[in-house]
Structure 1
């Protein structure tokens, strides 16, 4: 599950690598990508996304599954654990934890819902580079262009804009709108679930202290730090690729033992 302003295209590198061995479902939350925009913008909150995911799982008759969640998607994953932990065969939390740092939240509030309108893909890429160059300091222009094509779409006007409903920002103006739940309680429900935490070394949203506390509360939590990367890793970095493989190996071993 993708992050706040993202969509299914974020998972292209992961999906291309794993699709031969795993059955993958790459979801787009309401208001993003090909999913419909919500009539009520105040429904753009994690508890609603959890209900949407549960409806999808029921429709597809999916019992147990491994959940991958980046940022907001990781919050949804933890909230899923809070309600039905027995269905999670494994979980990957990408640069997200029960505590969100104020610095990171303020940065998100500063750009989400502000829109953007660009004449070319190069302009869109340069705009992203100007706004997030400190998050991915070693990226070349080619990588910024790839990011622009994941985050944006060609509009009917012929110009390029972000591929989400700008009104997703409205719940963030409400205190507690990030989750509306005690996330440490939700995280605790992952106690018996093989879990991988991937953290960007430069992350402003997930601190090293929070990651350490997560591991203190869940000693078998596997933590991988992606160097020279902020919020959030794309999961195609060598460190993240190895982390995903380790998690899936743990899941397979656990499932064999319980069969």
Structure 2
């Protein structure tokens, strides 16, 4: 199982008084751009543990890596107001955390909801974004993908043991993630849950489910093309799971047309969203960040 070594816990206070948490890997690393990792809807900083260890220990460009727990996830406080679980508020929380850490600019990696937050940051404070990795997210979200998320969150089983939790996750996601091995599923369960005296429980505020359940998928979903186009001058790597239901092949193609500096990777045997610590992805991401930084230094 993944261990908890290699990072420090950082706590700070949001504008409305919640105590929020982030993990900081390689906190003494200076020089290369730091990396900010933003997880999906119900996920947390643990999702990035293996990738963050890798990026913070690279011999040529060891980077400081900050992985945030949004409000209501991981070690961050739950919000009594469910309406505050939205990407605008969460983007503000990330900026507050970066200010508390004295980070003025960074490369950003956003999985699913994390990528939506990056779109918002591009409108709120574009100068903070030096390079972007979108993990299975773009300016258009497929309704079928959201319906799948609604479905498994609404009927998410409540296993008490890791073995039960692993079996449950494989039952829901196994067809979309044929490339994963047993250890990958174990890490997924470890990242999604926390241990209690009563057994495993999901590591997020249950009210987050309500924010997805309330979406009316019979109506057209708004897109983020204006926000995406505002990122056109920022180096971008888009990663898509070949079996993704959320990011379509057509949207990825359009993203290339709207962003001349965009690179893209399709991950075979994975769906929404690819595990960034698997296969060649750590090397691919590290190489992209190095290229973006070199190109920036040549301007």
Identify the TM-score tier after normalising by the shorter chain: over 0.9
Paired residue for 2:203? Answer: 163
**SS state of the match for residue 117, structure 1?**
coil
Pick aligned residue for 2:172 from 119, 122, 131:
131
Q: CA deviation at 1:142?
A: 3.1
Q: CA deviation at 1:181?
A: 7.0
Contact 1:31-1:165 within 8 A present in 2 as well: yes
Query: For residues 113 and 57 of structure 1, what CA distance do their matches in structure 2 show?
Result: 33
Q: CA deviation at 1:143?
A: 2.5
Change in CA separation of 1:174 and 1:203 when aligned onto 2, cut-off 3 Å: closer
Q: Which residues of structure 1 form unaligned runs of 5+?
A: none
TM-score by length of 2: 0.80
Q: CA deviation at 1:59?
A: 1.8
Change in CA separation of 1:57 and 1:142 when aligned onto 2, cut-off 3 Å: closer
Query: For residues 251 and 222 of structure 2, what CA distance do their matches in structure 1 show?
Result: 17
Q: CA RMSD in A?
A: 1.8
Which stretches of structure 1, 4 residues or longer, exceed 4 Å deviation after superposition?
none
Report the more deviating stretch, 69-78 or 231-240: 231-240
- Which structure has the highest strand share of the two? 2
Query: For residues 256 and 284 of structure 2, what CA distance do their matches in structure 1 show?
Result: 16
Change in CA separation of 1:58 and 1:171 when aligned onto 2, cut-off 3 Å: same
Query: Does structure 1 residue 214 correspond to structure 2 residue 255?
Result: yes
Q: CA deviation at 1:182?
A: 4.8
Query: For residues 121 and 195 of structure 1, what CA distance do their matches in structure 2 show?
Result: 36
Query: For residues 192 and 138 of structure 1, what CA distance do their matches in structure 2 show?
Result: 34
Query: For residues 222 and 287 of structure 2, what CA distance do their matches in structure 1 show?
Result: 30
**SS state of the match for residue 238, structure 1?**
coil
Contact 2:243-2:269 within 8 A present in 1 as well: yes
Q: Which residues of structure 2 form unaligned runs of 5+?
A: 1-37
**SS state of the match for residue 27, structure 1?**
strand
Q: CA deviation at 1:115?
A: 5.0
Paired residue for 1:257? Answer: 298
Paired residue for 1:51? Answer: 92
Q: Which structure ranks higher in relative contact order (CA pairs < 8 Å, sequence separation ≥ 6)?
A: 1
Query: Does structure 1 residue 121 correspond to structure 2 residue 158?
Result: no
- Which structure has the highest helix share of the two? 1
Q: CA deviation at 1:208?
A: 0.6
**SS state of the match for residue 144, structure 2?**
helix
Query: For residues 202 and 209 of structure 1, what CA distance do their matches in structure 2 show?
Result: 13
TM-score by length of 1: 0.92
Contact 1:5-1:112 within 8 A present in 2 as well: no
Paired residue for 2:48? Answer: 11
Contact 1:82-1:185 within 8 A present in 2 as well: no
Contact 1:115-1:162 within 8 A present in 2 as well: no
Contact 1:226-1:237 within 8 A present in 2 as well: no
Change in CA separation of 1:11 and 1:149 when aligned onto 2, cut-off 3 Å: same
Query: For residues 82 and 152 of structure 1, what CA distance do their matches in structure 2 show?
Result: 33
Pick aligned residue for 1:226 from 249, 258, 267:
267
